[in-house]
């Protein structure tokens, strides 16, 4: 879910929903991010951009991930296609160092991992993605369940009849 906020680092996770501010990617964005990461690693004790790139890279592995982020309004890409955007994001963290003691998104990652460890959340997501991906798929599952219940009731009634 996209958050209307100017601060890129205001990523939140509440009630199973990850809220991420919009990121606009253009041709010059790579140079900007690389220069900021280099500056952070040379001069600063805090590594906000580096940590942000690490989290962003964790969200994006393929062009399908980029398409999902674009569809959700989280990512706005001016690059030629989703594949180019995925390559851009995945190449940003090459050669960077993750400083574990002062990782800016530690709390966020802990919340995400705690949520992921609950089996019900994984089952619910799998059920939603596999069986209720469209209204027609969900309707067909419900109708099939009703038919199975009616068949069971009919079987029980026929066994009880003399």
Mean per-residue pLDDT for 96-119? 82
Mean per-residue pLDDT for 49-74? 88
pLDDT tens per residue across span 133-144: 788 888 888 899
Position 5 confidence tier, pLDDT thresholds 50, 70, 90? low
**With DSSP H G I counted as helix, E B as strand and the rest as coil, what are the percentages for the chain, rounded to 5?**
60, 10, 30
Element containing residue 78 per DSSP (H, E): none
Q: Does residue 149 have a pLDDT over 80?
A: yes
Q: Would you say 10 and 21 are in contact if contact means Cβ atoms under 8 Å apart?
A: yes
Residue closest to 131 by CA, chosen among 147, 145, 119, 111: 145
pLDDT tens per residue across span 24-33: 988 888 889 8
Residue closest to 121 by CA, chosen among 110, 129, 133, 132: 129
Position 130 confidence tier, pLDDT thresholds 50, 70, 90? confident
Higher-confidence residue: 3 or 15?
15
- Backbone region of residue 69 per phi and psi (left: phi > 0; alpha: psi in -120 to 50; beta: other values): alpha
Mean pLDDT of the chain: 85
Q: How confident is the model at residue 59, as a pLDDT?
A: 87
Q: Would you say 25 and 75 are in contact if contact means Cβ atoms under 8 Å apart?
A: yes
Q: How confident is the model at residue 45, as a pLDDT?
A: 75
Q: Does residue 94 have a pLDDT over 80?
A: no
Distance between CA atoms of 157 and 155, rounded to whole angstroms? 5
């Amino acid at each position: 879910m996209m958050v209307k906020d100017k601060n890129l680092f205001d990523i939140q996770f509440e009630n199973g929903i990850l809220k991420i501010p919009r990121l606009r990617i253009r041709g010059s964005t790579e140079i900007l991010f690389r220069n900021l990461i280099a500056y952070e690693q040379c001069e600063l004790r805090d590594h906000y951009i580096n940590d942000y790139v690490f989290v962003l890279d964790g969200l994006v592995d393929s062009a399908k991930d980029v398409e999902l982020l674009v569809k959700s309004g989280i990512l706005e890409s001016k690059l030629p296609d989703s594949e180019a955007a995925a390559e851009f994001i995945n190449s940003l963290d090459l050669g960077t160092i993750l400083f574990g003691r002062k990782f800016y998104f530690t709390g966020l990652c802990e919340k995400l991992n705690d949520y992921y460890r609950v089996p019900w959340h994984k089952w619910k997501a799998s059920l939603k993605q596999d069986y209720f991906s469209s209204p027609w798929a969900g309707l067909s599952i419900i109708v099939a369940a009703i038919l199975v219940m009616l068949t069971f009731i009919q079987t029980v009634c026929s066994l009880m009849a003399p």
